[in-house]
Amino acid sequence: MAITADDLRAQRAAYDLPDAGGHFGPYGGIFVPETLMHPLEELREAYERFRADPDFLAELDADLRDYVGRPSPLYHAARWSRELGGAQIYLKREDLNHTGAHKVNNTIGQALLARRMGKRRIIAETGAGQHGVATATVAARLGLTCVVYMGEVDVARQEANVYRMKLLGAEVVPVRSGSRTLKDALNEAMRDWVTNIDDTFYIIGTVAGPHPYPMMVRDFQTVIGREARAQMLERTGRLPDALVACVGGGSNAIGLFHPFIEDAEVAIIGVEAAGEGLASGHHAAPLCAGKPGVLHGNRTYLMEDAHGQIVETHSISAGLDYPGVGPEHAWLKDSGRARYVSVTDDEALAAFHHLTRTEGIIPALESSHALAEAHKLAPTLSPEQSILINLSGRGDKDMHTVAQHDGWAA
């Protein structure tokens, strides 16, 4: 799609999103019970105060450097690129972060904010367990009490992460309501927050939820895109032709995309989980196959039935198994600035194996969805062109799932 100079100006003028009420065009906002309205206002005020505070930012930067290991490397996957036969593929190695994924960029930011707000108890929801681990990790380091809500189904399929959280001193609460996955864990965490508002800080793990979460989580995650943009320029002398990232709630994707939004020549591609295929109905691809609605405090694309009930999702990757998506992605889709596609379980698994065998990097199943899209995209581009993929997490946590799928384990 050709973007004109006028479009670009309009986008620049428009791209100071969200507005004061947390809206990205018609999406986002604050759709919560009255009990949460004032606490969200307090959070927004605190966040806006601290994000302009040099002392807070210096503390955050130091932690990202010394504790997380940032900047994360930009890796030219030369062998994999050659095999795919087309564009040069660069991987932003968020898998090398402490705790193994991009999630920690956000939990450090929010935990530091919690401490400055005087909140001593941290709660979080988790799907694959990566956000739960990243939250338990920073809570341990800051000496904060930590409770993580996790759907019972996810507890079963991400056993290793449950154990890690417990080792780190967190209480893991299995959620048995609804579909017993990420969305239900989020419901339960919100209930906890409503009940314990005075001393509790809710660290949401993705760019969803009510304002200011989509904005705040995005801001903490844009370190990915800011680093990657500078690294690409330094390494190749130009910007990449395309960005690719997987989208569940969409925090790793928005973290990569956001600093490139005004670079009209860079194509932006988000990859949702098509599960067993969009036609099967067993997927987690609200942007590709859902409709706008309201869930978990914001308006966005959702997977729902004809009566507005949220439906169960399916993806081999627990981290993408969510029926909604961050409202900024909904806006980027409608505005045409980003394109959203989907990749099936099988395609993601094939990419998982391919990267592992050609580069010696075992990716998370979530990130494997982005890799699978590169399988399709790279051959359509020339070797002079480049694709920047967010390798958002490592695959250690997925060993059991993959082994089971390949018939190596029960």
Partner 1 sequence: MSRIARRFEQLRAEGRTALIPFVTAGDPNPATTLELMRAMVAAGADLIELGVPFSDPIADGPVIQRATERALAGGMSLDGVLALVRTFRAEDRHTPVVLMGYLNPIEVMGYESFAAAARDAGVDGALIVDVPPEEGHGLVATLKEHGIDLVYLLAPTSTESRIARIGEVASGFVYYVSVKGVTGAGHLDTGAVAERLAAIRKCIALPVGVGFGIKDAETAGRVAAVADAVIVGSAIVERIEALAADAPSIPGAIGDFLSTLRAALDASDARLAEEEPA
Catalytically active residues are: 103, 125, 392
Instruction: Determine, following the binding rule CB under 8 A, whether residue 34 of this chain makes contact with partner 1.
Output: yes
Q: How far apart are CA 119 and CA 113, in angstroms?
A: 9
- In the complex with partner 1, the residue whose CB is nearer, 184 or 272, is 184
- In the complex with partner 1, the residue whose CB is nearer, 144 or 295, is 295
Q: How far apart are CA 4 and CA 261, in angstroms?
A: 14
Measured CA angle at 370 (ends 236, 13), to 5 deg: 65
If you search the block for the tokens 């928005």, which residue do you land on? 254
- In the complex with partner 1, the residue whose CB is nearer, 194 or 289, is 194
Q: Which of residues 276-335 bind partner 1 (CB under 8 A)?
A: 292-297, 302, 304, 306-311
Tell me the DSSP string of 93-128.
EGGGSGGGBTHHHHHHHHHHHHHHTT--EEEEEESS
Instruction: Determine, following the binding rule CB under 8 A, whether residue 19 of this chain makes contact with partner 1.
Output: no
Nearest of 74, 139, 75, 69 to residue 105 by alpha carbon: 69
If you search the block for the tokens 């979460």, which residue do you land on? 213
Site string for partner 1, 42-81 (x = CB under 8 A): ----------------------------------------
Of 21, 54, 143, 407, the one binding partner 1 by CB under 8 A: 21
- In the complex with partner 1, the residue whose CB is nearer, 186 or 274, is 186
Q: How far apart are CA 383 and CA 367, in angstroms?
A: 23
Instruction: Determine, following the binding rule CB under 8 A, whether residue 177 of this chain makes contact with partner 1.
Output: yes
Nearest of 9, 269, 216, 248 to residue 109 by alpha carbon: 216
Of 103, 183, 333, 394, the one binding partner 1 by CB under 8 A: 183
Contact 116, 150 (CB under 8 A): no
Instruction: Determine, following the binding rule CB under 8 A, whether residue 363 of this chain makes contact with partner 1.
Output: no
Interface size with partner 1, residues (CB under 8 A): 38
Instruction: Determine, following the binding rule CB under 8 A, whether residue 31 of this chain makes contact with partner 1.
Output: yes
Nearest of 160, 211, 195 to residue 399 by alpha carbon: 160
- In the complex with partner 1, the residue whose CB is nearer, 34 or 55, is 34
Contacts with partner 1, residue ranges (CB under 8 A)? 21, 29-39, 177-178, 183-184, 187, 190-191, 194-198, 292-297, 302, 304, 306-311
